[in-house]
Amino acid sequence: MNEKKIHITVCDDIPLERAVGYVRDVIKHGRISKNDTMFCYLTLIHDKETNQRIAVQTMDYRKSDCFRVYLDGRYDKYGNLISIK
């Protein structure tokens, strides 16, 4: 049997069901990075319901597709860019 696995790390108290939805959106776009062998390295999503900017990062591991979902810390809760020092 050919099993496929994904690993999702969820940070910043993002609800699991939302995190899985963000990852699903990245997967829907297909493998577009690294000569079409990986999902997008970094996808930024604006969640209109929560008014948060979410980052979905893909990591390059051999055995499974790995994703990290976290708040994009460059923006405040109102969507304004925070100055980076």
User: 17 by DSSP, 3-state: which?
Assistant: helix
pLDDT value, residue 85: 46
Beta-strand ranges (E) seen in the chain are 6-10, 31-33, 38-39, 42-47, 52-59, 65-71
- Strand 52-59 vs strand 42-47: parallel, antiparallel, or unpaired? antiparallel
Condensed to tens digits (0 to 9), the pLDDT of residues 17-75 reads 999 999 999 999 999 998 988 899 999 999 999 888 899 999 877 778 999 999 987 66
pLDDT value at residue 78: 62
> pTM for this structure?
0.81
**Residues 45, 29 contacting (CB under 8 angstroms):** no
Question: So where are the chain's domains?
Answer: 6-71
Measured on CA atoms in the order 53, 45, 55, 18, is the torsion positive or negative?
Answer: positive
